[in-house]
Amino acid sequence: MPAKSKSQQKAAGAALSAKRGETDKSDLKGASREMVESMTEKELEELASTSRKGKPDHASKS
């Protein structure tokens, strides 16, 4: 499942870092805080490894 936007990819990277213990979970905000609790490390890796090239800054709401 590739990231749909740059912001989603960044949030997944932050959540992955916290899940691995590289950063504190208390440092997370917004979507990344929710991702660390609701997604597996493998799912986060897939989102975080998505290329940012050609992605919009934010995904559309629809």
At a CB cut-off of 8 Å and minimum separation 6, what does 10 contact? none
Q: Is the pLDDT of residue 62 over 90?
A: no
Angstrom distance (rounded) from CA 7 to CA 17: 15
Judged by DSSP in three states, 61 sits in: coil
- Over residues 22-37, the mean pLDDT reads 92
What's the number of CA atoms in the CB half-sphere (13 Å) around residue 48? 19
Q: Residue 2's pLDDT band (boundaries 50, 70, 90)?
A: confident
pTM above 0.85, yes or no: no
At a CB cut-off of 8 Å and minimum separation 6, what does 33 contact? 15, 25
Q: Identify which of 41, 47, 35 has the alpha carbon closest to the alpha carbon of residue 20.
A: 41
